[in-house]
């Protein structure tokens, strides 16, 4: 092989390597692609793919088991609330799945965790409903005894709720014979002041001393605050309680309670009127609107070069749509780049190397493109040749100077081959002759 042939062989090999690199690498095809997210490509420009389920596992046990399918990874179904998980890598702490998220267990999350000593968890602050501060309201009858003998013997039900007893008949002796029962209250037969008459139960009213007539029972408290968003109850020690009905303990009552309720999902602590609305398909702030200003517009990008054709179909979504949903013959993908102008629109969405960001010159025609534009790789409606320089040799003193370029007057067409002047050699006494190699015209 002579030197000219060797040079030609090396040039062809290098151009071939450049063409392959352009077709496969989004970054190599044009700097304008940088920073634009392609719906069907990862951060490194590769197409998300999988061969087995384990490649799709995101490590979150609460959002379901991801699986590998024909169109890539598919999300699983969220685990049931109360499923054990590990949020912090510490086996000594108790974590549970709640609403698809793994977090530390707490009293009031609606899931009893016996590892932390919880006997129950009804997710509310109502006293005496069978579960108070994640402990049973009662385990046995003795737990319910209010030490008031005239109102009967209280019992603990199977639901751990204290049940009232049957009041003793009026005039029944009580307090070791020093008093008599009246409407379930033991009244002292004699008294000097109201304190002598108090039975210690704020719920049945304030007993008073009538002097010679003895003690008089009070008027039972009416704990109804006429607020549909509170659970009303009476505590013998303090009187009426009005606990906010708030299943998720986010400080807002459910809208199902009526006009006073503002929480549109009382099972999720991250949903309430004061929450920030994030793009997740949920009305987080309960204003009737979902994902306000947070959705992303995605455009069909069949060749996955981050450019969509003018008029391409689009969808609005918080997350990137699956590649197989684009409706393209080969699966395709999605891009966030809007085809709003010619410089942003793909003129051939079937060839990844063809897009407005293409900066590399190509030596092969675009497959299937019309002859008039089969080298318009950068979609500017013109075919730009890599070089139209004319090569020449001239005498410069004792040496021959070369101007590299095409040999002859004509510039070869896109994809055509012609002789290229690479250097000059002395010829005769004062002459110079060109040394050429065959090259192929590249265009874009």
Within 144-184, residue ranges assigned H as helices are: none
Contacts 24+ apart (CB under 8 A), 321-329: 321/39, 322/71, 322/72, 322/74, 323/39, 323/40, 323/47, 323/48, 323/71, 323/72, 324/70, 324/71, 324/72, 325/71, 326/39, 326/40, 326/300, 326/301, 326/302, 327/300, 328/300, 328/302, 329/302
Q: Is the pLDDT of residue 9 over 90?
A: no
Please list, in sequence order, all residues whose beta carbon lies within 8 angstroms of the beta carbon of residue 17, skipping any fewer than 6 positions away: none
Q: Is the pLDDT of residue 4 over 60?
A: no
- Name the nearest CA neighbour of 346 among 320, 328, 325, 364: 328
Q: Is the pLDDT of residue 17 over 50?
A: no
CB 393 within 8 A of CB 434: yes
Give the per-residue pLDDT at 373.
Answer: 95
Percent of the chain with pLDDT over 70: 89
Summarised one tens digit per residue, pLDDT across range 182-222 is 888 888 888 889 998 888 889 989 999 987 778 888 899 99
Q: Is the pLDDT of residue 45 over 90?
A: no
Q: Which pLDDT band, with edges at 50, 70 and 90, does 49 fall under? A: low
DSSP symbol at 77: P
Q: Which pLDDT band, with edges at 50, 70 and 90, does 397 fall under? A: confident
Summarised one tens digit per residue, pLDDT across range 252-269 is 999 999 999 999 999 999
Q: Taking residues 14-29, what's their average pLDDT?
A: 38
Cα–Cα distance between 123 and 249 in angstroms, integer?
Answer: 7
Q: Is the pLDDT of residue 336 over 80?
A: yes
Cα–Cα distance between 215 and 282 in angstroms, integer?
Answer: 60
Q: Taking residues 122-148, what's their average pLDDT?
A: 91
Q: Taking residues 106-128, what's their average pLDDT?
A: 85
Percent of the chain with pLDDT over 90: 52
- Chain centre to alpha carbon of residue 377: 37
Summarised one tens digit per residue, pLDDT across range 305-335 is 999 999 999 999 888 888 878 889 888 899 9
Q: Taking residues 75-84, what's their average pLDDT?
A: 84
Mean predicted lDDT score pLDDT of the chain: 85
Summarised one tens digit per residue, pLDDT across range 272-299 is 999 999 888 899 999 999 888 788 999 9
Please list, in sequence order, all residues whose beta carbon lies within 8 angstroms of the beta carbon of residue 228, skipping any fewer than 6 positions away: 257, 258, 260, 261
Cα–Cα distance between 287 and 162 in angstroms, integer?
Answer: 41
Q: Within a 10 A sphere around the Cβ of 262, how many other Cβ atoms?
A: 16
Q: Is the pLDDT of residue 65 over 90?
A: no
- Name the nearest CA neighbour of 358 among 7, 13, 27: 27
Cα–Cα distance between 407 and 98 in angstroms, integer?
Answer: 76
Q: Is the pLDDT of residue 2 over 70?
A: no
Q: Encoding tokens for residue 429?
A: 């006494």
Q: What is the DSSP string of 308-371?
A: B-TT--EEEESSPPPGGGS-BTTB-EEES----SGGGB-S-TT-TT-STT--S-BSSPPTT--G
Please list, in sequence order, all residues whose beta carbon lies within 8 angstroms of the beta carbon of residue 424, skipping any fewer than 6 positions away: 393, 394, 400, 401, 402, 432, 433, 434, 435
Give the per-residue pLDDT at 21.
Answer: 38
Among 55-69, 106-120, 273-287, the range of highest mean pLDDT: 273-287
Summarised one tens digit per residue, pLDDT across range 212-227 is 778 888 899 999 999 9
Domain ranges of the chain: 1-22+353-444, 141-243, 249-288
Give the per-residue pLDDT at 97.
Answer: 85
Sign of the Cα torsion 278, 282, 286, 287 reads positive
- Name the nearest CA neighbour of 333 among 346, 319, 320: 320
Q: Taking residues 84-97, what's their average pLDDT?
A: 79
Q: Within a 10 A sphere around the Cβ of 151, how many other Cβ atoms?
A: 20
User: 325 or 433, which is more confident?
Assistant: 433
- Name the nearest CA neighbour of 436 among 387, 397, 403: 403
Q: Encoding tokens for residue 296?
A: 């992303």
Q: Is the pLDDT of residue 63 over 90?
A: no
Summarised one tens digit per residue, pLDDT across range 347-388 is 999 999 999 999 999 999 999 999 999 999 999 999 999 999
- Name the nearest CA neighbour of 260 among 231, 222, 292, 290: 231
């Amino acid at each position: 092989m002579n030197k000219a042939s060797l040079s030609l062989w090396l040039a062809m090999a290098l151009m071939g390597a450049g063409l392959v690199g352009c077709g496969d690498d989004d970054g190599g095809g044009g700097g304008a692609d940088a920073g634009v997210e392609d719906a069907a490509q990862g951060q490194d420009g590769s197409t998300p793919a999988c061969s087995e389920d384990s490649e799709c596992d995101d490590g979150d046990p609460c959002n379901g088991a991801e699986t590998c399918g024909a169109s890539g990874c598919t999300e699983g179904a969220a685990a049931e609330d109360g499923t054990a998980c590990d949020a912090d890598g510490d086996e000594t702490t108790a974590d549970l799945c709640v609403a698809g998220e793994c977090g530390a267990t707490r009293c009031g999350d609606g899931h009893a965790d016996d590892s932390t000593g919880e006997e129950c968890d009804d997710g509310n602050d109502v006293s005496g409903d069978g579960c108070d501060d994640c402990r049973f309201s009662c385990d046995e009858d003795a737990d319910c005894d209010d030490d008031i003998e005239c109102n009967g013997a209280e019992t603990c039900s199977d639901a751990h709720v204290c049940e009232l007893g049957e009041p003793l008949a009026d005039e029944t002796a009580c307090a070791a014979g020093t008093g008599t029962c009246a409407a379930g209250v033991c009244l002292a037969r004699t008294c000097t002041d109201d304190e002598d008459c108090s039975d210690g139960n704020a719920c049945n009213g304030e007993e008073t001393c009538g002097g010679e007539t003895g003690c008089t029972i009070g008027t039972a408290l009416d704990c109804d605050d006429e607020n549909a968003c509170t659970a009303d109850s009476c505590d013998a020690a303090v009187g009426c309680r009005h606990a906010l009905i708030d299943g998720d303990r986010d400080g807002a009552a459910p809208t199902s309670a009526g006009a006073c309720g503002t929480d549109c999902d009382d099972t999720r602590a991250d949903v309430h009127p004061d929450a920030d609305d994030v793009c997740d398909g949920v009305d987080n702030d309960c204003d009737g609107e979902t994902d306000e200003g947070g959705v992303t517009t995605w455009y069909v990008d069949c060749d996955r070069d981050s450019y969509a054709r003018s008029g391409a179909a689009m969808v609005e979504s918080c997350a990137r749509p699956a590649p197989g949903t684009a409706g393209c013959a080969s699966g395709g993908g999605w891009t966030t780049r809007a085809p709003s102008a010619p410089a942003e629109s793909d003129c051939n969405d079937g060839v990844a190397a063809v897009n407005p960001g293409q900066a590399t010159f190509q030596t092969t025609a675009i497959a299937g493109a019309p002859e008039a534009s089969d080298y318009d790789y950068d979609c500017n409606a013109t075919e730009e040749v890599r070089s139209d320089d004319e090569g020449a040799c001239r005498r410069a003193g004792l040496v021959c100077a070369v101007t590299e370029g095409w040999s002859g007057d004509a510039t070869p067409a896109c994809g055509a081959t012609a002789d290229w002047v690479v250097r000059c050699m002395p010829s005769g006494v004062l002459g110079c002759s060109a040394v050429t190699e065959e090259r192929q015209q590249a265009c874009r």
